[in-house]
Amino acid sequence: SALLEVKNLQVRVAEREILHGLTLSVNPGEVHAIMGPNGSGKSTLSHVIAGKPGYEVTGGEILFKGEDLLAMAPDERAAKGVFLAFQYPVEIPGVATMTFLRTALNAQRKSRGEAELSTPDFLKRVREVAGSLGIPQEMLKRGVNVGFSGGEKKRNEVLQMALFQPSLCILDEMDSGLDIDALRIASEGVNALRTPDRAMVVITHYQRLLDYIVPDFVHVMSRGKVVKSGGKELALELEANGYAQYQDAAA
Ligand code: ADP
Ligand code: MG
Ligand code: MG
């Protein structure tokens, strides 16, 4: 059965309806790309799945592993295996990245009934993953995302995913602000996390990212709905013909 099922989702932000009946079904092991122009509601969808406050769900439902996701608090969703890599990762001055990673990882392990990692085991895991992502140890001593470049912030999100091992990874415009080398490194990190029981939802408005993270399915969002779905070739068709044709269909 589906890992994530979004059924006819309607969402309001600040009294305005942003998502107008969005449906999406994601099975374990699949990578889905969501493409669409700026303002089509891509980040809104990711925020509602993660449980960010400020969104009013006025219709529809979201099931995760068959359970009502919207009834769960954000930390409960994370504990169940939902991870959102934000388009704009937040800075947390005064909390060292290493401390943040350890606290979050242990909280998650605890909620899953798993023992805390010992300090040496934790350090070993972080160093391994950080090394594979080209993240210097020095960066992990700095406040979370404080003074990180765009590329470093995105790599830090991939580092969190690799440590937390979520069953659903949502990547919101991971490519924004990345140069080609940073994009390649971050994408390799993401691809290393593809497994038969983990699914990914990759949000982007450029086809370029999908050369690196090759999706199984592509969905086009326009004005708060999925207006077309297809295979990876749909991304190339969009690159050639643009979004305007779908904007008309959604209006
Ligand atoms: P995308 O990620 O596809 O660019 P968003 O989900 O960020 O789109 O935004 C969809 C629409 O919702 C836009 O018209 C945006 O202005 C509006 N919107 C998003 N967040 C807010 C907010 N906090 N207050 C008011 N409008 C918002
Ligand atoms: Mg946007
Ligand atoms: Mg967005």
- 223 Cα: distance to centroid of ligand 3 (angstroms): 13
pLDDT given for residue 112 in this prediction:
83
- 38 CB near ligand 1 (under 6 Å): yes
In sequence order, the 6+-apart residues with CB closer than 8 A to the CB of 16 are none
138 CA distance to ligand 2 middle (Å)? 31
Task: For a ligand 1 pocket test, name from 18, 38, 87 the mutation site with the most ligand atoms within 8 angstroms of its C-beta.
Answer: 18
DSSP states along 4-51:
EEEEEEEEEETTEEEEEEEEEEE-TT-EEEEE--TTSSHHHHHHHHHT
| Residue 78 CB-density burial (10 A; 0-12 exposed, 13-18 middle, 19+ buried) | buried
- Asked if pLDDT for residue 248 goes beyond 80, the answer is no
Whole-model pTM over 0.90: yes
Residue 244, both tokens: 């305007």
13-43 pLDDT, tens digit each = 999 999 999 999 999 999 999 999 999 999 9
Q: Which residues contact 86 (CB under 8 A, 6 or more apart)?
A: 157, 172
**What band does 247 get if pLDDT is binned at 50, 70 and 90?**
confident
The pLDDT value recorded for residue 250 is 59
Nearest ligand 1 atom, CA 224: 10
Q: Angle at Cα 248 formed by Cα 243 and Cα 250, nearest 5°?
A: 95
User: What separation in Å is there between the alpha carbon of 107 and the centre of ligand 2?
Assistant: 31
Q: ipTM for the complex? A: 0.96
Neighbours of 148 (CB within 10 A): 19
Closest CA to 35 of 217, 161, 179, 169: 217
36 CB under 6 A from ligand 1?
Answer: yes
Position 220 scores a pLDDT of 96
CB-count burial class (<10 Å; 0-12, 13-18, 19+) for 222: buried
- pLDDT over threshold 90, residue 47: yes
The residue that leads in pLDDT, 41 or 149, is: 41
Q: How many domains does the chain have?
A: 1
Q: What is the pLDDT of residues 59-106, one digit of tens each?
A: 999 999 999 999 999 989 998 999 999 888 889 999 999 999 999 999
Residue 222's domain comprises: 4-250
Q: What pLDDT shows up at residue 86? A: 84
- The answer, yes or no, to whether any atom of ligand 1 lies below 6 A from the CB of 18, is yes
Q: What one-character DSSP code corresponds to residue 166?
A: -
d(CA 48, CA 237): 29
Residue with CA nearest ligand 1 atom 22 = 13
Residue 133's contacts (CB-CB under 8 Å, 6 or more residues apart) are: 155, 158, 159, 162, 185, 186, 189
Average pLDDT (167-189) is: 91
- What are the backbone dihedrals phi and psi of residue 210, each rounded to the nearest 5 degrees, phi first? -80, -5
**pLDDT value for 251:** 58
150-164 and 97-111 helices cross at what angle (nearest 10)? 30
> What CATH number is associated with residue 33?
3.40.50.300
Question: What is the atom index within ligand 1 of the atom nearest the CA of 36?
Answer: 3
- Burial letters 228-243, b for 16+ CB under 10 A, else e: beeebebbeebeeeeb
| pLDDT tens readout for residues 115-129 | 999 999 999 999 999
Residue 249 has pLDDT above 90, yes or no: no
User: What CA–CA distance (Å, rounded) separates 129 from 134?
Assistant: 9
Q: What is the pLDDT of residues 218-236, one digit of tens each?
A: 999 999 999 999 999 999 9
Contact 73, 66 (CB under 8 A): no
Helices within 34-179 (DSSP H only) = 42-50, 74-80, 97-111, 119-132, 137-141, 150-164
